[in-house]
Amino acid sequence: MRGDQVTVWINEPDNKPLPAKEWTGRATVLVGGRSQTIILTPGESNGAIGSLSAPASGGVTAVLQITIDGKPAQARFAAGR
């Protein structure tokens, strides 16, 4: 996260970039006690982007939900704590 922008990059197990057009995702971000769900749209290469309603500051927790080849996956991240 940088400011109000959320960017996610996905790599395959062999560390090759997985093009963002091959997966879909959303991030649920908890900032300052408020939750926001962001739909990620394909950006450059293997990155997908979304925007928060305001820049993030302090502790941020995010849950990433993606679907690759029809199979769902989930990851949780915490930063700035």
Eight-class DSSP state of 44: S
Residues 6+ apart with CB under 8 A from 35: 28, 29
Q: By the 8 A CB rule, do 50 and 39 touch?
A: yes
The pLDDT mean for the chain works out to 89
The string of pLDDT tens digits covering residues 19-51 is 988 899 999 999 878 899 999 999 888 899 999
Q: By the 8 A CB rule, do 1 and 60 touch?
A: yes
pLDDT at 66 over 80: yes
Domains of the chain: 5-79 (2.60.40)
Task: Write down the pLDDT at residue 45.
Answer: 83
